[in-house]
Structure 1
Amino acid sequence: MRNLFFLLSFFSSTTLFAQDFDYLKVSQADLNFTKTKLDSNANAVVLREFGTAAVRFDDNYGNLYIDFEYHVRIKILNKKGFESANIVIPLFRSGDKEETIEELKASTINYVNGIISLTELDKKKIFTEKMNKYVTLSKFTMPNLTEGSIIEYSYRLHSPRIFNFRTWEFQSNIPKLHSEYIAMIPGLYNYNVALRGAQKLTSQNAELSRECLRIAGRAIDCSKMTYIMKDIPPFIEEDYMTAPSNFKSAINFELSDYITSNGAKQSITKEWKDIDYQLVDDKSFGSQIKKKDLFKPLLPDILKNTTDPLSKAKAIYSYIKHNIKENGFIGIYSENTIKKALETHTGNTADINLALVAALNSAEIDAEAVILSTRVNGLVNTLFPVISDFNYVIAKVNIDGKSYLLDASEPLMPFGLLPLRCINGQGRVIPLKKPSYWYDLTASQKETTRYNLTGELGKDGKIKGVLTTYSIGYAAFNKRRRIMAANSIDEFVEKLDESMPTIKIVKHEIKNLDSLENPLTEIYDVEISAFQNINHDPLFFNPFFIDRTTRNPFNLNERTYPVDLGSQTEQRVSMSIKLPDNYTLADKPKELNIGLPGAGGRFLCTTSLEDGILVFNQLLQFNKPIYGPEEYLGLKELYSRIIQVQKTDIILKKQGK
């Protein structure tokens, strides 16, 4: 470290027009910055951020590329803010071309007792991590961090991905005081530009930039598009949401068309009929679906116990699930052909589901491929075809006027229920001989859990009885997955027992573990340590010990994006406990029957004592898979009421006392 008075200016000010800011030229206000009104609890804040992207011509290789420059200055406000100093830059690969980083520099500025010091990043501490075969992550951590550090880094990125001009995200997980972006768009290119998210631009400007690009000696003018956004609140992720990229405020660019060297207009934004032809003819997509003959020798054994199209479809679905295991990669294109996948019993998700479509068609069952975007990948553009939006393929089976969506890459998923990752807006159905069409991706079953406890309170203070749990839909899928992850059912039960200190599982039975279309049923003989003994009076008993809600998943003052549960959900708890003689119900949790507007859901809680039997019932029900931002405060209030009532006890007293 060394003094940098000669590098740093205490009197530099933020300019009002769009331009990059000087590297390491911090102001006294930057050094003294402590918090922002945007988020008083912020752990770090972006003081200034600048980026620019332009199309360039590579004379060495004779091709166009995107030249992207990025520069950011961040103030670390406390130790939790150190997380913002862990920098990850994704680098995408397209075919044999990949993005590369150049001119990377990174520095940490500390200001202690009036002394400024600088620590530069050791380039040897930059490392790469291969996320998958399409994405590599460049990672580094800023050095010499303390509370109050300013970190600053910049780099130039060389990208061959002309189709997707560089997206600029104004919003991140920390607040930003100033973010600006300049896009230099050559006159030869026409991009669809869209601003998404709840935040508005502070300013934007378009001007002509003469001769910004030269191709084969020809000078080309550009549109210089400048976008500025100030005082940007952080984007806070909460439970029950799809990809954050769907909702963060950002500028997106997508190439629509361009002018070729001979002056002809070449459309990039194709019509769906063009995409249909491309996919149906593709050797890794449509050609795989057409390989029906692969399954002709297999069908007699697969279908030997079937009598109708639905039972045949279920048998084929089961066969594919158990004979081709997913290798960890997803996509819409077959990785190694479905023939290879059948031989090696492994493949990516496209190998599996394209094989499923081919096998169903081989059995004369109407099946089509559906391409979609998973929840973490973001929503697809339904206005015009963008094939790069899609990252997954499933099967759609049509039998007797009813359609079933299938993903055979999940062995524990019942017929007709998609994994939650696939429940994301709409998918595009790609028939082999008809035009493609949109289809809603919805859960075919409600996520349901029902608990039923019947027991008797003994003089030793223990409730002995039977706890039966029924799980349906995603609740059953998640439970089966946890059971299968254990080495045995006994080990699963042992871990379950350990997680409930007041409940001892004496005996267990689990039904329908392999019968995926039936409710998963768990039957446990239990001993519940409700009281040390019943010789004292009164007795306090909290009935909310089964799947208790301990925190509110909704804590924002306002949520600008939907609450997406994926499916309708229902949870019921019923208890029937025989009490010793002469006990009365002195007090109980407040009886509640709270409904969400528009019959969107409800919470019900009742307690009674009838003929010496304590009866308790609870219901939490959400009748919609998705709730809009305007319904957020109602959900937040519902959970607040639930948490409050679950803090209260049932009070039992002996008669005559």
Structure 2
Amino acid sequence: MKCLVFLAAFFCSGAAFAQNFDYANINADELLLKKVDLDSNANAVVLREFGTAAVRVDDAYGNLYIDFEYHVRIKIFNKNGFENANIVIPQRIYGDKEDMIYDLKATTINEVNGQMVLTELDRKKVFREKKNKYVNLTKFTMPNLSEGSIIEYSYRIHSPSLYNFRSWEFQSDIPKLHSEFIANIPALYNYNVSLRGAQKLSSQNAELHKECLRIAGRNIDCSKMTYIMKNVPALIEEDYMTAASNFRSAINFELAEYYMMNGAKKSVTKEWKDVDHELLDDKSFGGQMKRKDVFKDLLPEILKNAADPLSKAQAVFYYIKRNIKKNGFIGIFSENTIKKALENHTGNIGDINLALVAALSAADLDAEAMILSTRSNGTVNSLYPVISDFNYVVAKVNIDGKSYLLDASEPLMPFGLLPLHCINGQGRVINLKKPSYWYDLKASQKETTRYSLNAELGKDGKIKGALNIYSVGYAGCNKRRKITAASSVDEYVEQLDESMPNIRILKYQIQNLDSLENLLTETYEIEMSAFQDLNHDPLFFNPFFVERISRNPFNLNERSYPVDLGTQSEIRFTMSLKLPGNYTLADKPKETNMLLADNGGRFVCSTSLEEDVLIFSELLQFNKAVYDSDEYHALKELYSRIIQLQKTDIVLKKVK
């Protein structure tokens, strides 16, 4: 990048932007538009969107920058579409420089008594907010909104970074009738260009833009690349998906190489061996991995009860977990050095998990660091290294031929189990002595919950008995999180009691709340008001009162992206209910054994009466962490049939 700044002195600006549509030049059809055929249920639609980017020169300082222009016109159909009038413009921060916004203007257009009324944005109502140390936000809300408004705004951004030429998202959470992006790239630069998403371009064109720049008295040509996508459906975010940015149709540019004035070619796209060297030489990454000395005097106390490598690793893991709490910031680099994080008992993700790597190494264990991208951050480029793709670091320790992935920043995660937000494709393992390598990020445990009710129906119509709940893996972590979120266990149980209106908790016992490696067990003595009394015949009883599914998480007609649960899961409920006698099973939910293809999962439900004991069981099991988009309709149908079945009662009838 320093070489690029050096070249900037030779550039002269002169590249012209492509034709834009006229600002606020609204026609009657747009103003009166009520809906669009593309999506008749849409709350808003992008009528037209235009963007263009080019390499420019800062005349004052001679530095290169990317000049990006954005212009959009949006029709708001109803009040649910008003959220599209809350505008947020991210500005990346690059050390002591950042993206700068210029020429911002915004207008709301309404039809009032047959006349077109324009309301301009008051610049005093534009706010600036710091999202984190890497991004600032410019925010504003369009003025004078009403149903049927058209909002239009435009701005320019000057970006000091040429590495990522401006990306363009053709798809958003509302449909677009026309989205167009033009990139003007000088012949001196070669970018890797990638089109992402399920939607196809309506048209694309490459043409030579003569003499777009003048360098050292010589004219330089540019490639003018035009990309257009029309009638783009909205990408609707639904449950069980990773970052929406993984699936939105978009085009991305990444600088691969550039040419010097003497014809020499400089490669910017690095190999992993180059990145390995940089990371290990970086004081905030490799420098912290090497700090075994920080733990030299602490290890005897940490390891005093550990005899074997696994128990040593567990002792170190829980020591770091107890002594460095996360400060809310994530990242792969140490923020304040692991020594200061240990002294202050707080740090970012880099501080915590690089300290874990160093401490494991100090204990003579085979420890490595793994950088990854969290589920909300998107996938990483596996073709060539892009360090900015990674936003998280964890530890990997290898013991007796088995690898354990560790995140000491999460207080309720047991040894060897990563938080679900880390389960996202592959991570890159960084070793102090060996070349880095890819490693699959898969959940090491299921999310398993098992309920068991052993109860008796009394003559007063109440069901009394013991409800046991066993939570394993991610289910145990989630349950511990809920319990510790309450001010006390008593308060948690009180909240649980209030959430079940027909069930009263009389006594309780919770075991292994603080023993993260063990099964979390809850035992509740309950009383359920099932019937007013037993004088009615027949009796109707719905057995689906545990983990009842109230809504289908899958409601799209089509889903172009996978269903990513993060891990396999299982919920099982069994009930043994002793009846007062003289009752027969007159009706029951249909015996069900619904299977997903290729052993992908199942739902099983059965009901029987054995002498005076009613036996009911239910199982919902997903045997895959990720389901392809072509399996979506099967999942949707499974949930629909479960919801219908759970409306069915057990019918008990007295024997005459």
Q: TM-score, normalised by structure 1?
A: 0.96
1:384 has 2:389 as partner: no
Name the residue aligned to 1:452.
Answer: 452
Name the residue aligned to 1:595.
Answer: 595
Separation in structure 2 between the aligned mates of residue 524 and residue 130 of structure 1, nearest angstrom = 47
Alpha-carbon contact 2:18-2:52 (below 8 Å) kept: no
Alpha-carbon contact 1:55-1:213 (below 8 Å) kept: no
Separation in structure 2 between the aligned mates of residue 416 and residue 526 of structure 1, nearest angstrom = 35
Alpha-carbon contact 1:57-1:213 (below 8 Å) kept: no
Map Cα deviations across residues 515-566 of structure 1 (whole Å, 9 max, x no partner): 1011111111111111111111111000001110011000111110000000
Map Cα deviations across residues 350-409 of structure 1 (whole Å, 9 max, x no partner): 100000000000010001000100001100010111111111110111000000000000
Separation in structure 2 between the aligned mates of residue 474 and residue 65 of structure 1, nearest angstrom = 46
Map Cα deviations across residues 310-343 of structure 1 (whole Å, 9 max, x no partner): 0000000000000000010000110011011111
Query: How many angstroms does 1:261 deviate by?
Result: 4.2
1:616-635 equivalences under 5 Å are 616-635=616-635
Alpha-carbon contact 1:330-1:348 (below 8 Å) kept: yes
Alpha-carbon contact 1:198-1:249 (below 8 Å) kept: yes
Name the residue aligned to 2:61.
Answer: 61
Name the residue aligned to 2:278.
Answer: 278
Corresponding residue SS for 2:548: coil
Map Cα deviations across residues 414-436 of structure 1 (whole Å, 9 max, x no partner): 01000011000000001011111
1:19 has 2:16 as partner: no
1:573-588 equivalences under 5 Å are 573-588=573-588
Q: Alpha carbons of 1:96 and 1:18: their partners in 2 closer, same or farther (altered >3 Å)? A: closer
1:536-551 equivalences under 5 Å are 536-551=536-551
Root-mean-square deviation (CA, aligned residues, Å) is 1.1
Name the residue aligned to 1:3.
Answer: none
Separation in structure 1 between the aligned mates of residue 613 and residue 595 of structure 2, nearest angstrom = 28
Separation in structure 2 between the aligned mates of residue 510 and residue 641 of structure 1, nearest angstrom = 34
Separation in structure 1 between the aligned mates of residue 503 and residue 261 of structure 2, nearest angstrom = 76
Query: How many angstroms does 1:607 deviate by?
Result: 0.4
1:567-578 equivalences under 5 Å are 567-578=567-578
Alpha-carbon contact 1:452-1:469 (below 8 Å) kept: yes
Alpha-carbon contact 1:292-1:359 (below 8 Å) kept: yes
1:74-89 equivalences under 5 Å are 74-89=74-89
Name the residue aligned to 1:179.
Answer: 179
1:13-412 equivalences under 5 Å are 19-215=19-215, 217-412=217-412
Name the residue aligned to 1:443.
Answer: 443
Separation in structure 1 between the aligned mates of residue 479 and residue 32 of structure 2, nearest angstrom = 52
Separation in structure 2 between the aligned mates of residue 338 and residue 217 of structure 1, nearest angstrom = 52
Name the residue aligned to 2:480.
Answer: 480
Separation in structure 2 between the aligned mates of residue 231 and residue 575 of structure 1, nearest angstrom = 53
Corresponding residue SS for 2:84: helix
Percent identical across equivalent pairs?
74
Map Cα deviations across residues 194-215 of structure 1 (whole Å, 9 max, x no partner): 1110000000000111222345
Count residues in correspondence. 640
Separation in structure 1 between the aligned mates of residue 215 and residue 537 of structure 2, nearest angstrom = 91
Q: Alpha carbons of 1:216 and 1:580: their partners in 2 closer, same or farther (altered >3 Å)? A: farther
Query: How many angstroms does 1:262 deviate by?
Result: 4.1
Separation in structure 2 between the aligned mates of residue 261 and residue 89 of structure 1, nearest angstrom = 36
Name the residue aligned to 2:7.
Answer: none
Corresponding residue SS for 1:93: strand
Corresponding residue SS for 1:131: strand
Separation in structure 1 between the aligned mates of residue 428 and residue 275 of structure 2, nearest angstrom = 11
Name the residue aligned to 1:612.
Answer: 612
Separation in structure 2 between the aligned mates of residue 430 and residue 218 of structure 1, nearest angstrom = 45
Q: Which moved more, 1:623-632 or 1:156-165?
A: 156-165
Corresponding residue SS for 2:367: strand
Alpha-carbon contact 1:208-1:221 (below 8 Å) kept: yes
Map Cα deviations across residues 55-104 of structure 1 (whole Å, 9 max, x no partner): 11112122111100000000000111111111111111011111111100
Separation in structure 2 between the aligned mates of residue 475 and residue 596 of structure 1, nearest angstrom = 23
Q: TM-score, normalised by structure 2?
A: 0.97
Query: How many angstroms does 1:305 deviate by?
Result: 0.5
Separation in structure 2 between the aligned mates of residue 329 and residue 61 of structure 1, nearest angstrom = 34
